[in-house]
Structure 1
Amino acid sequence: MTQALPKIFTFEEFAAKYPDKSGKHYELHDGEVVEMPQPTGDHEEIVTFLATKITLEYSRLSLPYGIPKTVLVKPPQRESAYSPDVLLLNRPNLVNEPLWKQKSTVIQAASIPLVVEVVSTNWRDDYHKKYADYEEMGIPEYWIVDYAALGGREFIGKPKQPTILVCCLDEGEYQINKFRGDERIQSLVFPDLNLTAQQIFEAGGTIVNS
């Protein structure tokens, strides 16, 4: 039996067709339209918690940032488009974004100080595909919040345990720091952020003995 190959979309085709009226959520991965799984309530609680904490911090510092509801991140050299769980925008740079006005899409690292992905069942995308593309784009900081310990053992240990990976760009490559339990998150973008891994996990109902 011959299996039909998936239709390959350009970014322009994807942006014109999605989102559609189905109410489903899609991303574009190297030309293939991927339906994203419906997030759990715990997942959304963590997203809301982090967006609130980060908003409070950039507001306290009077930084010209914002966290939009729906924005696409497009790696410039790829037919891909991602919709991060939390995307911190550097609003003054949006005037330099060619796709911003018409497609609410950013392609420049200067527009994205920080991006957060809260891990779901499609964890390989967060740990491999998005990690590589965000790094190649030069996004300064990328958090992988694996509250349900879904990722591979090479990333979160054996036995698996809830972990937050903070990936900070250093000479074009991400350097990874891992946080668990009552360890305070160390962020280059927000060095004074007073937030522990456990506080983030508890926002999603995960209680971990530290």
Structure 2
Amino acid sequence: MTQVLRQLVTFDEFISWYPENAQQRYELHDGVIVEMVPPKGDHEEIVGFLALEISAEIKRLKLPYFIPKTAFIKPLEADSAYSPDVLILNRPNLVNEPLWKKESTVSYAASIPLVIKVVSTNWRDDYLKKAADYEAVGIGEYWIVDYAALGGRRFIGNPKQPTISVYLLVEGEYQVRQFLQGDVIESPTFPELNLTAEQIFQTANM
């Protein structure tokens, strides 16, 4: 993670600054523009696999959800904007999102059934900052897919091993369940998804 602009900017300034047809991804963290580390091939294979599996489940269940190519989550009370690896949006609630039409940005939990982040070198943001902000927004389900066991031991245990952490909102606070190897992922948003952690991790080794 490389900070590219140290002076604080507002969300509106960030959107105005964002390069058109940018080849690089950027996020806004408390007013600081952050250049995201280019993803590795393994990372992208897992993102693609999850997007396909979840899209198939959305279609099978005829849910009013979709996965945008690029969109931001903006906590209402902060000058931050996050671009998750996989973001599931609830189409009917987008009429209530004032920033959706022009900025492809959502801020309300009712629009965001599930967020998935595949961990890269900026793992502290995923486990600490983004988890706290998504909890504040009220997002009901947040996955952290740590396929390379990069996260700190306080997050994924010792010895470290590939782990999927599923954060579920319970009475306004996240509670986390962790899934390893052959564990079947339990997702309230997609209760019949029937994917094991190992299936997801092996995608990067095919």
* TM-score, normalised with respect to structure 2: 0.96
Matches within 5 A, 1:1-210: 6-20=6-20, 23-205=23-205
- For residue 32 of structure 1, what is the amino acid of its counterpart? V
Distance in 1 between residues matched to 2:22 and 2:204, nearest whole Å: 27
User: Following the alignment from structure 2 to structure 1, what is the Cα–Cα distance between the partners of residues 160 and 116?
Assistant: 21
Shift of 1:24: 1.6
Aligned amino acid, residue 148 of structure 1: A
Hey, what's the Cα distance between the residues in 2 that align with 1:191 and 1:167? 15
In structure 2, give the amino acid aligned to 1:188: P
SS of the residue aligned with 1:204? Answer: helix
1:129 Cα shift?
A: 0.5
Extract unaligned runs of 5+ from structure 1.
none
Give aligned pairs, total.
202
Secondary structure of 1:110's counterpart equals helix
- SS of 1:12's equivalent in the other structure is helix
Query: Structure 1's 99 and 55: CA in aligned 2 closer, same or farther, altered over 3 A?
Result: same
Report the alpha carbon displacement of residue 20 of structure 1 after superposing the two structures with TM: 4.6
Residue identity matched to 1:139: I
Distance 1:22 1:92, change over 3 A: closer
CA separation in 2, counterparts of 1:22 and 1:111?
Answer: 26
- Contact 1:19–1:25 (CA under 8 A) maintained in structure 2: no
Distance in 2 between the 1:138 and 1:172 partners? 7
The alignment yields a C-alpha RMSD, in angstroms, of: 1.2
Larger CA deviation: 116-125 vs 11-20: 11-20
- Residues 46-65 of structure 1: per-residue CA shift (max 9 Å, x gap): 00000011111111111000
Matched residue type, 2:39 = P
Unmatched tracts of structure 2, length 5 or more: none
Q: What is the rounded CA distance, in whole Å, between the counterparts of 1:156 and 1:30 in structure 2?
A: 26
Show CA shifts across 1:69-94 (max 9, x none): 00010000000000000000000000
Give 1:19 deviation, angstroms.
3.2
TM-score (norm 1): 0.94
Describe the SS at the equivalent of 2:57: helix
Q: Partners of 1:99 and 1:43 in 2: how far apart?
A: 29
CA–CA distance in 1 between the matches of 2:63 and 2:164?
25
Deviation at residue 203 of structure 1 after TM alignment: 0.7
Q: Structure 1 residues 22, 85: CA separation in 2 closer, same or farther (over 3 Å shift)?
A: closer
Paired with 1:205 and 1:79, the residues of 2 have a C-alpha distance of: 38
d(CA) in 2 for partners of 1:110, 1:87 = 13
Q: Deviations over 1:125-150 (max 9, x none)?
A: 00000000001100010000000000
**Post-superposition shift, 1:193?**
1.2
